[in-house]
Amino acid sequence: MTPLQSAPTHTHTHTEHIQRHGFSVTITTLPALSGL
């Protein structure tokens, strides 16, 4: 429950999420950039 343990875990999970759902993330990001 220490920040040192939470940080790497969060980073690993975030990276895994991008690798697994990179396509969905791109689809979500494109409209956002267009809106800006």
CA torsion sign, 24 to 25 to 28 to 31? negative
Residue whose token pair is 């990179």 = 22
Tens-place pLDDT, residues 1-36:
455 555 555 555 667 766 666 666 666 777 777 776
Cα 10 from chain centre: 10
Cα 29 from chain centre: 11
- Is residue 25 a contact partner of residue 18, using CB atoms and an 8 Å limit? yes
Q: 8-12 long-range contacts, Cβ below 8 Å, gap at least 24? A: none
Q: What is the pTM of this model?
A: 0.24
